[in-house]
Amino acid sequence: MSELNLILLGPPGAGKGTQADRLKDDFGLPYIGTGDLLRKHKEDATELGTEAASYMANGDLVPDGLVIRMILEEIEEKGDDGFLLDGYPRSAGQAEALADALEEAGRKLTAAMLIDADDATVIQRLSGRRQCRNGHLYHVDFDPPKNEDGFCDIDGTRLVQRDDDKPATIGKRLVTYHEKTEPLIDYYDERGLLRRFDGSRAPAEVHDHIRATLATLRLEERL
């Protein structure tokens, strides 16, 4: 079996989306971003999106019952030959649900990739993050657009700040992360699946490190 079944773990703003964007092209992996999917549901005013909206605005996790089904359906639909999960799992219940679903399908997780960064870095990154409506990411100081201030280099649309990137919500998201998601680091470490990456380094360096690790893992899967 040489499929790569990967999850990206780490605090908000550590750079999971930034790295996922590069990795899905490198390895041709279907990308399943939980936050993006939930925001799309919210935009489309589906029942799920409407229910999830208040949790997201408060920096809380959307209840497991809503998220688990959405993600398992996505994996079933797109992830036959591997997947890159960003933002799932984020709780013990979600991790168990994923493990059960993979076991049932005779598959296994290749690695849980932790991109780590401390709280001060996260706050600085999230407060300066801007994105266009097609999800292209920028930072007002670290990665500003090159062509026109406030507009996306790729599609020319206006850059906006996410609702949950306001200071009070960033603080709450960090509390939620430490309480509910950080315990998953031990969960995956105990199962020999954890791979750690220093998210405080420059995006290209983090990318090189992850790519090298994944190339080795893929080789090991083939042996």
Catalytic option among 39, 129, 130, 195: 129
Q: Is 22 a catalytic residue?
A: no
Give the x/- contact pattern for ligand AP5 in 60-99, rule: CB under 6 A: xxx----x-------------------xx-x---x-----
CA pair distance 124, 147, nearest whole angstrom: 23
Q: Is 173 a binder of ligand AP5 (CB under 6 A)?
A: yes
13 contributes a contact to ligand AP5 by CB under 6 A: yes
- 211 given a catalytic annotation: no
Question: Which of 139, 152, 188, 209 is close enough to bind ligand AP5 by CB under 6 A?
Answer: 139
Looking only at residues 152 through 171 of this chain, which bind ligand AP5 when binding is defined by CB under 6 A? 164
Instruction: Report the chain's terminal Cα–Cα distance, integer Å.
Output: 9
Measured CA to CA, the distance from residue 183 to residue 123 in angstroms comes to: 21
Place of tokens 């799309």: 40
Shortest distance (Å) from residue 107 CB to ligand AP5: 20
Those residues with Cβ within 8 angstroms of residue 82's Cβ, 6 or more apart along the chain or in another chain: 3, 4, 5, 6, 27, 29, 30, 110
Q: State the binding string over 17-36 for ligand AP5 (x if CB under 6 A, else -).
A: xx---------------xx-
Our answer to whether residue 129 is catalytic in this structure is yes
C-alpha closest to that of 19 among 119, 86, 109, 90: 86
Active-site positions? 16, 90, 129, 162, 173
